[in-house]
Chain A
Amino acid sequence: MNESLARSILVVSLIKVVVLLFLVLTAVAYLVWFERKVAAHIQGRWGPYRVGPHGLLQPLADGVKFLMKEDTTPAGVDRFVYFAAPLITMTLAISAIAMVPFGPRSVRIFGVTTPLVVANINVGLLAIFAITSIGVYGVALAGWSSNSKYSLLGSLRSSAQMVSYELSLTLSVVGILLLAGTFNLSELITQQAGYTRGFLPRWNLFNPTFPQILGFFCYFVAAIAETNRAPFDLAEAESELVAGYHTEYSSFKFAMFFLGEYASMITVACLASILFLGGWLSPFPQTPGMDWARYIPPAVLAITGIALIIGGLRYTNLFGRIVLPVLGLILFGLSFLCSQPGVIEAVQGPFWFLVKVVFVLFVYVWVRWTLPRFRYDQLMRFGWKVLFPLALLNVVLTSLAVVIRK
């Protein structure tokens, strides 16, 4: 590899990292908004509505609030660890997304061709698991260093829980590895291309050799536990532990935990859609009769744009009247751009990937606001006596199927 090529790869990677960081932080901020909106509508409320039209500027307001609040450090904390813990949580949660491929095609911008992934490494899946496996330190150390019994209890619970469920999480994916024979995430997706009987996509969830339905169930449950969300959010059970491991954190250090939690939610959802739902592959077969399916992405953009323009005109205040229609016009323009011949193929991958990720995230939020929290002994019993054997069973059945049918 010559010098200039290496340098240009370095520069391109750097640009991609910055763009991805920006995208992820925005996505995390709006995921919070999304969660609050979905939760509110499940409970027959409106959710955030005051800051900006439909509360769209609420994440911005929250961010400013976190920055402006007083940052208190309680007495008797272990300073170094206390400051390091939120950093560990946030950095790890965000860096896992670098391994996620967002689309099949290489994008050509300013004469440089580059794939839609920051780090396309051979052991991408293992790397993500490695990062999530050390993510537990953020929680554990935060609780220990805070010098508070609630924090310590929360982090003890959480470390035990994360270690227990990590086992099921990793085992639930082994079935897919047996079927695919690779750790590379892009290859894992391309192997899921094609359709059984012409209509059923050959995603790993409906794999013809052995459908990974059991694996998907185990993965999904373990992933919820791994990200410490309800009904497994024992680490911060507010009715018993105030706020669990981050009780003593305020201001931006608290925001870092917050960002970390939602960023790891996104990682887990991306991984679910890559491993089980075919990643960027379209659910519609590419036969001549299904040619219209290519126009779904621009159509969705156009409909959203029109809805925003009409919704904005209903507002009485100046802000709603300007912001929403302008957003709508931008989306409308984007939809026109996306229906152009060269572009329409390029947007298919990222569009379907995004749809699947949003769907998984929606189920996540749905579960959180539907199921009550587990008791701690129930949680442990479920993890070790139900989920772990099920994941193991999936591995055994899949390997049998692979041996017999391949």
Chain B
Amino acid sequence: MTPQLLIFLILAAIAVAGAVNVILQRHPIHSAISLIIVMMALAGLFLLLESEFIAAVQIIVYAGAIMVLFVFVIMLLNAGVEERTNMSRMARYAGVPLAIFLLIELAYQVGAATLSMTPQPAADNMTRGLSMLLFQDFVFPFELTSVLILIAILGALVLAQRREGVPAKGGPEKIN
């Protein structure tokens, strides 16, 4: 067993165990911490593929920004331990078989795709290649996505204001 394979197996095990733990934990904060661990394990996997840039960005964006927001909101709302309800009939008879089917399908497709692939040597300067793709070849879809996200943020702001009884006229006037 090569060291790479060993590290891969360890990281993969951590990622899967963390992901399962996200659902099993009953307190939102514990679930969030498990999710952070999954993100870190994924960053490690990217590092194993010699894409340092993606690994660092994975941590900065997902573990460092998005999950901080999750934890922040959970703390702010002071969310308590969630209650367990037994599975509804719908979930038991339709959901479980569908989930198993999806799992098999994904495993089959990913397995087939990776078996037919030949390993590519890592590019010498990953960061440069990536930025070329993002800011030259796919600059239009990339910018379009940012506009989409911006619209979503503005929409959330408008909705939040309307609920407080403030008429949402020309956009947000006062945000505290």
Residues in A lying within 8 Å of B, measured CB to CB = 78, 80-81, 121-123, 126-127, 129-131, 133-134, 136-137, 140-141, 143-144, 152, 155-156, 159-160, 162-163, 166, 170, 183, 377
Cα distance A140–B30 when bound, in Å? 13
- The yes or no answer to B11 lying at the interface (CB within 8 A) is no
Shortest Cβ distance from B52 into chain A, in angstroms? 4
Cα distance A130–B43 when bound, in Å? 11
Are A134 and B63 closer than 8 Å at their CB atoms? yes
Please give, as numbers and ranges, the residues of chain B lying within 8 Å of A81 by CB-CB distance. Answer: 29-30, 33
Are A141 and B56 closer than 8 Å at their CB atoms? no
Shortest Cβ distance from B51 into chain A, in angstroms? 10
**Which of B43, B60, B72, B75 sits near A129, CB closer than 8 Å?**
B60
Task: Please classify the interface of chain B as helix (H, G, I), strand (E, B), loop, or mixed, using the class held by over half of its residues.
Answer: helix
Please give, as numbers and ranges, the residues of chain A lying within 8 Å of B75 by CB-CB distance. Answer: 140, 143-144, 152, 155-156, 159
Please give, as numbers and ranges, the residues of chain A lying within 8 Å of B145 by CB-CB distance. Answer: none
**Which of A121, A130, A137, A159 sits near B60, CB closer than 8 Å?**
A130
Known: A140-B68, A144-B75, A156-B72. A133 touches B36 (CB 8 A): no
Shortest Cβ distance from B61 into chain A, in angstroms? 9
Q: What is the count of residue pairs linking A and B with beta-carbon distances less than 8 angstroms?
A: 78
Cα distance A183–B60 when bound, in Å? 15
Please give, as numbers and ranges, the residues of chain B lying within 8 Å of A141 by CB-CB distance. Answer: 29, 33, 71
Shortest Cβ distance from A308 into chain B, in angstroms? 44
Please give, as numbers and ranges, the residues of chain B lying within 8 Å of A144 by CB-CB distance. Answer: 29, 71, 75
Q: Told that A127-B56, A134-B59, A163-B72 touch, could you supply 9 new A-B pairs with CB distance under 8 A?
A: A78-B27, A80-B30, A122-B52, A129-B56, A129-B60, A133-B60, A137-B71, A144-B29, A159-B71
Shortest Cβ distance from A82 into chain B, in angstroms? 12
Please give, as numbers and ranges, the residues of chain A lying within 8 Å of B29 by CB-CB distance. Answer: 78, 81, 141, 144
Known: A137-B36, A152-B75. A163 touches B69 (CB 8 A): yes
Task: Please classify the interface of chain A as helix (H, G, I), strand (E, B), loop, or mixed, using the class held by over half of its residues.
Answer: helix
Are B71 and A140 closer than 8 Å at their CB atoms? yes
Q: Can you list, as one digit per residue, whether each of B32-73 has a CB less than 8 Å from chain A (1) or not (0)?
A: 010010000001000000001101110110011100110110
- The yes or no answer to B76 lying at the interface (CB within 8 A) is yes
Cα distance A136–B69 when bound, in Å? 11
Q: Which B158-176 residues sit within 8 Å CB-CB of chain A?
A: 176
List 8 interface pairs A-B (beta carbons < 8 Å), by A numbering: A123-B56, A126-B60, A136-B68, A140-B68, A144-B71, A159-B68, A162-B68, A166-B64
Please give, as numbers and ranges, the residues of chain A lying within 8 Å of B63 by CB-CB distance. Answer: 130, 133-134
**Which of A123, A131, A134, A137 sits near B52, CB closer than 8 Å?**
A123
Please give, as numbers and ranges, the residues of chain B lying within 8 Å of A126 by CB-CB distance. Answer: 52-53, 56-57, 60
- The yes or no answer to B109 lying at the interface (CB within 8 A) is no
Shortest Cβ distance from B35 into chain A, in angstroms? 12
Q: Which B1-51 residues sit within 8 Å CB-CB of chain A?
A: 27, 29-30, 33, 36, 43
A84's nearest neighbour on chain B, judged by CB, is: B33
Are A137 and B68 closer than 8 Å at their CB atoms? yes
Please give, as numbers and ranges, the residues of chain B lying within 8 Å of A136 by CB-CB distance. Answer: 64, 68
Cα distance A405–B10 when bound, in Å? 49
Known: A122-B52, A127-B56. A134 touches B72 (CB 8 A): no
Shortest Cβ distance from B77 into chain A, in angstroms? 11
Are B127 and A134 closer than 8 Å at their CB atoms? no
Please give, as numbers and ranges, the residues of chain B lying within 8 Å of A156 by CB-CB distance. Answer: 72, 75-76
Please give, as numbers and ranges, the residues of chain A lying within 8 Å of B69 by CB-CB distance. Answer: 163
Task: Give the most central of B56, B63, B72, B76: most A CB within 10 Å.
Answer: B56
Cα distance A159–B70 when bound, in Å? 11
Cα distance A377–B175 when bound, in Å? 12
Cα distance A98–B68 when bound, in Å? 24
Are A123 and B72 closer than 8 Å at their CB atoms? no
Are B52 and A121 closer than 8 Å at their CB atoms? yes
Please give, as numbers and ranges, the residues of chain B lying within 8 Å of A129 by CB-CB distance. Answer: 56, 60
**Which of B27, B30, B72, B176 sits near A160, CB closer than 8 Å?**
B72
**Which of A78, A133, A183 sits near B127, CB closer than 8 Å?**
A183
A162's nearest neighbour on chain B, judged by CB, is: B68
**Which of A130, A159, A163, A183 sits near B59, CB closer than 8 Å?**
A130
Please give, as numbers and ranges, the residues of chain A lying within 8 Å of B57 by CB-CB distance. Answer: 126
Cα distance A170–B56 when bound, in Å? 13
Q: Can you list, as one digit per residue, whether each of B66-89 has a CB less than 8 Å from chain A (1) or not (0)?
A: 001101100110000000000000
Please give, as numbers and ranges, the residues of chain A lying within 8 Å of B43 by CB-CB distance. Answer: 130
Are A134 and B33 closer than 8 Å at their CB atoms? no
Shortest Cβ distance from A9 into chain B, in angstroms? 13
Cα distance A141–B71 when bound, in Å? 8
